[in-house]
A = this chain, B = another copy of it.
Amino acid sequence: MTAKAHHFGGEMNLMSPERIDALIATYRDGLLGDTLPFWINHAVDREFGGFLSCLDRDGTVIDTDKSVWIHGRFIWLLSTAYKTVEQRPEWLALARHGIDFLRRHAFDSDGRMFFHLTREGRPLRKRRYIFAETFAVAGLAAYASATGDAEARDQAISIFELITRYLTTPGLLPPKVNPETRSMKGLAIPMIMIVTAQILREVAPDLAFCPEVTGLCPKVTGLCPKVTGLCDQWIDRSISEIEHLFMKPEFEAVLETVGPSGEFLDHFDGRMLCPGHAIEAAWFILQEAQHRGGPGLPRPGQGDPRLVKLGTTILDWMWARGWDEEYGGILYYRDVKDLPVTEYWQDMKFWWPHNEAIIATLMAYQMTGDEKYAVWHRMVHDWAYAHFPDPEYGEWFGYLHRDGRISTRLKGNLWKGPFHLPRMQLKCWQVLEQIKAGRRG
């Protein structure tokens, strides 16, 4: 903890009832009064279907190309808001609008998904990664969870199975770097598999899954242990990979890229840290700690202790690496040996690492009660809210220079869309309500 952090901690009760209510208002009102309306007003393509995410500051569409990632993510958000906030028919209809476009245009003949489409839905690019597919699983599973829609549920399961087949069959996903020369594993895969499996696991487990669709279970009604088992297994496997291959106690850091058995690769790629990315993994693990901690509100002592320790260790290490002592905010890339990073934009401040750090610090506080995390939450929340929001047109800018100046007025592109910010607003609102409820009883 820095001197500045101590100063914060000393000057006020960071998680007083008043502060919690003020934070709830910030997140809730931001989500419902700003972020969701911004995207609903500007991103819905009423003519060709689907969503347009390449937006100027005021929401004007500046590129009509469509991002398959963004579709899965917006469907997830709309469905999750419908299920957990309020059953607004508009949200459900828009989620359905996104699913229809995905089904019509986003799938290649091999069952995999494209990355980038024209406005009409014609394929521009398919990538070697399976992230379009993981976001589709999240969107379809959340929709199924919100509605009980069996077709969406079965499609989510079937895409998840396809992903696991691609991840476990050597040669199906050709790597960028010749694997005969240097075999590498990325943190992104286990990280995304944790949260995707967590979302899929929530899908209507009291219904039978048809074996013709999923191939997973015998024809039964009631709970489907094979689906929850598959999800648990991928979550276990992914957390174990992060713990045993990517976390390096000798550096107190989580690496982005390692050899197949966790070997440290002393090259630009192998030394590179992305603190925001690891911190995102940290809260997925804290979320799993809550799930496995048994019934009862998430609170200190409730979560699975091993996973709470794991998630907070990642947060502790990567906060130390990522927090910018000079200007504040989370630096994008660092080198684990403090050598120069080869990505030239390494010291920029992107919106999403701040969203992830705001969630992770709040959940770490929720699960441990350690005031340190309330201090960090305050630091990253305040820095982000002082620099990213657009006071004129709403939503957040995405890309700042290290010192917090805006680098581009862009509101969306093929990567930035209705996801990290509204997910943070929704998640933090929920966590704060849990903290309030926990204090009541």
Which of chain B's residues have a CB closer than 8 A to the CB of A350? 344
A177 within 8 A of B: yes
Which of chain B's residues have a CB closer than 8 A to the CB of A344? 345, 348, 350, 398-399, 407-408
CB-CB under 8 A for A268 and B124, given A344-B408, A345-B344, A348-B344: no
A306 within 8 A of B: no
Q: Is the Cβ of A124 less than 8 Å from the Cβ of B177?
A: yes
Q: Is the Cβ of B182 less than 8 Å from the Cβ of A118?
A: yes
Q: Max chain B CB contacts within 10 Å: which of A57, A125, A401?
A: A401
A347 to B122, CA, bound (A): 32
How far, in Å, is A199 (CB) from chain B's closest CB? 28
Which of chain B's residues have a CB closer than 8 A to the CB of A409? 340
Task: Say which residue of B116, B118, B268 sits within 8 Å of A54 (CB atoms).
Answer: B268
How far, in Å, is A273 (CB) from chain B's closest CB? 15
Q: Max chain B CB contacts within 10 Å: which of A176, A181, A347?
A: A181
Closest to A340 in B: B410
Which of chain B's residues have a CB closer than 8 A to the CB of A401? 401-402
A3 within 8 A of B: no
Q: Max chain B CB contacts within 10 Å: which of A56, A340, A345, A401?
A: A340
Could you list which residues of chain A lie within 8 angstroms of chain B, going by C-beta atoms? 54, 56-57, 62-65, 116, 118, 122-126, 176-178, 181-182, 266-268, 339-342, 344-348, 350, 398-399, 401-402, 407-410, 413-414
What are the 8 A-B residue pairs with the smallest beta carbon separation, nearest first? Answer: A340-B410, A345-B345, A344-B399, A122-B181, A342-B413, A340-B408, A63-B267, A62-B339
